[in-house]
Chains A and B, each alone.
Chain A
């Protein structure tokens, strides 16, 4: 079984709808992240969480919210989806490591299309 799973894998929705993307991990990591990737671009950080009680905005948090329901679960919500939120969304985890940085492990991604 995959260590980091995301649901759904693909979603098509309409403008104005509320959407939730879910991420679960079995790696036992404290740190979880949500990124989006647009064609030809790198990953941009939306939100990150270092433990259940810690939530931080990334560089592009507007229009998104998150919930860390448990150490293993981190969900991303689009309160009112708009077409420019069409992208590939990745969840990732890490254990922090030395100086707070270490390898990140990614889920398979959720492809979201907003019409």
Chain B
């Protein structure tokens, strides 16, 4: 079993749709969580951190469920520019600071 698993996708949605991605992690000691966005063949960039209380940034909402060991990303009112691959990232709770990446979920928003 992979340490970090994401919905395989791809997700193809119309503009304006709401879409949600899930990610599960196996290391119960993991302490920090992130969603990164990666455009085709480019470098990943941080989309948002995920906090225990959940957090929202405009149309994007991230949530963490420690008991079930999963995190989610909700995108409301999808835009064409949201088309990308979304990577779930989980960090160990040590000073190692190593990150484990999921394989990504690809989203295509269509007109």
Contacts and interface: CB of A to CB of B under 8 A. Distances in A.
B45 A106 contact: yes
Contacts of B87: 42-43
A103 B43 contact: no
A12 interface: no
A102 B43 CA distance: 17
A64 interface: no
Q: Which of B41, B45, B98 has the most CB of A within 10 A?
A: B98
Interface residues of B, number: 26
A94 B102 contact: no
Given A31-B97, A106-B43, A108-B42, A40 B103 contact: yes
Nearest to A111: B41
A108 B38 CA distance: 11
Contacts of A35: 101
Q: Which of B31, B32, B34, B87 has the most CB of A within 10 A?
A: B32
B52 interface: no
A41 B44 CA distance: 13
Interface stretch (B14-22, B56-64, B73-81, B88-96): B88-96
Contacts of B97: 31, 48, 50, 94, 96, 100-102
Nearest to A108: B43
Interface in A18-56: 31, 33, 35, 40-45, 48, 50, 56
A100 B43 contact: no
22 contacts: A33-B99, A40-B103, A43-B87, A43-B101, A45-B98, A45-B99, A48-B97, A48-B98, A50-B97, A58-B98, A88-B41, A94-B97, A100-B97, A101-B32, A101-B97, A101-B99, A102-B97, A103-B34, A103-B49, A104-B46, A104-B99, A111-B41
Interface of A: 31, 33, 35, 40-45, 48, 50, 56, 58, 88, 90, 94, 96, 99-104, 106-109, 111
Interface of B: 4, 31-32, 34, 41-46, 49, 87, 91-104
